[in-house]
Amino acid sequence: MKPTLGRIVHYRGKQGLTAMRAAIVTATTATLDPRGVEAGQVPALDSDEHVHLWVFTPGEQGGFAEFNVPRGEAPDPGEEIPPGSWGWPSRV
């Protein structure tokens, strides 16, 4: 399934504790304005499975942006996605 604007995904941090966080997709290749990329205002996306995210965090800061994040696959069922990637939430 391709990522779409506004979808909630899981993001595993690439620095620090690499904790799993909830994130929302803020741009995909279908929604990214090429004029913003050309002007240097927003990074390009490397593929249809790369997205820009707003990552939610507990505490006063509330969150942060991550750009050009690849989709990650867990190596085995029940394991986590690799650091610095996003994945679909598990079905409950």
Question: For 58-84, what is the mean pLDDT?
Answer: 89
User: pLDDT at position 7, please?
Assistant: 97
User: pLDDT at position 92, please?
Assistant: 67
> 23-67: per-residue pLDDT in tens?
999 999 999 999 999 999 999 999 999 999 999 998 888 999 999
Q: Considering the chain, what is the average pLDDT of its residues?
A: 91
Beta bridge partners of 25: 53
Does pLDDT of 1 surpass 90?
no
User: pLDDT at position 75, please?
Assistant: 80
User: pLDDT at position 17, please?
Assistant: 67
Does pLDDT of 8 surpass 80?
yes
Buried/exposed 10-43: b ≥16 CB within 10 Å, e otherwise: bbbbeeeeeeebebbbbbbeeebeeeeeeeeebe
Q: In the structure, what pLDDT confidence band is assigned to residue 73 with cuts at 50, 70 and 90?
A: confident
The domain ranges of the chain are 8-70
Which residue from 72, 67, 11 is spatially nearest to 44, judged by alpha carbons? 67
Residues in the chain: 92
Give alpha helix (H) positions in 1-92: 34-38
